Amino acid sequence: MPIASVEPLRRTATAVEVASPRESLARFAFRHHIGAMDLDDQIRRYFGTSELAAVPPAALNAGVEHMKVDLGLTTDRGERFALWALLHVLGSAPDLDVVFKTDAEREAARNLMDVLQAGGG
């Protein structure tokens, strides 16, 4: 996917906002690494529901541990990025140097972290 295909606009209920270059890059990196993987499917796979607020603490811990095992076993870049991203959102992601082999993958993860932090996520 060429960088020119990154969507620089974000539609909201009331207006069209121009995304920052960093946000556009992070969105591109996220799509590039995750591809067609649906994070809702990942949440349902590991926690049995798409509503994380409904997951009891013990089941949440078990799901996180299962994700960490799968993260260590997977050889697919997209799956690794998706698992790491979800673990990051849940506050349980391993260090970037442990998970990602290349500087480009680590930079994509850092960009995602920055976008999530800027968005309050």
pLDDT score recorded for residue 20: 52
Torsion angles phi and psi, residue 37, rounded to 5: -65, 130
What would the pLDDT profile of 67-82 be if each residue is shown by its tens digit? 999 999 999 888 899 8
What would the pLDDT profile of 36-73 be if each residue is shown by its tens digit? 456 788 889 999 998 888 999 999 999 999 999 999 99
What would the pLDDT profile of 7-26 be if each residue is shown by its tens digit? 333 333 433 344 455 555 45
pLDDT score recorded for residue 61: 95
What would the pLDDT profile of 78-113 be if each residue is shown by its tens digit? 889 989 999 998 999 999 999 999 999 999 999 999
The closest alpha carbon to 97, from 84, 87, 112, belongs to 84
Residue 33 pLDDT class (50, 70, 90 cuts): low
Q: In the chain, where do the E strands start and end? A: 9-11, 16-18
Cβ-based neighbours of 82, under 8 Å, separated by 6 or more: 33, 34, 37, 39, 42
- What gap in Å lies between CA 4 and CA 16, rounded to an integer? 19
Query: Within a 10 A sphere around the Cβ of 47, how many other Cβ atoms?
Result: 22
Domain boundaries, the chain: 37-118
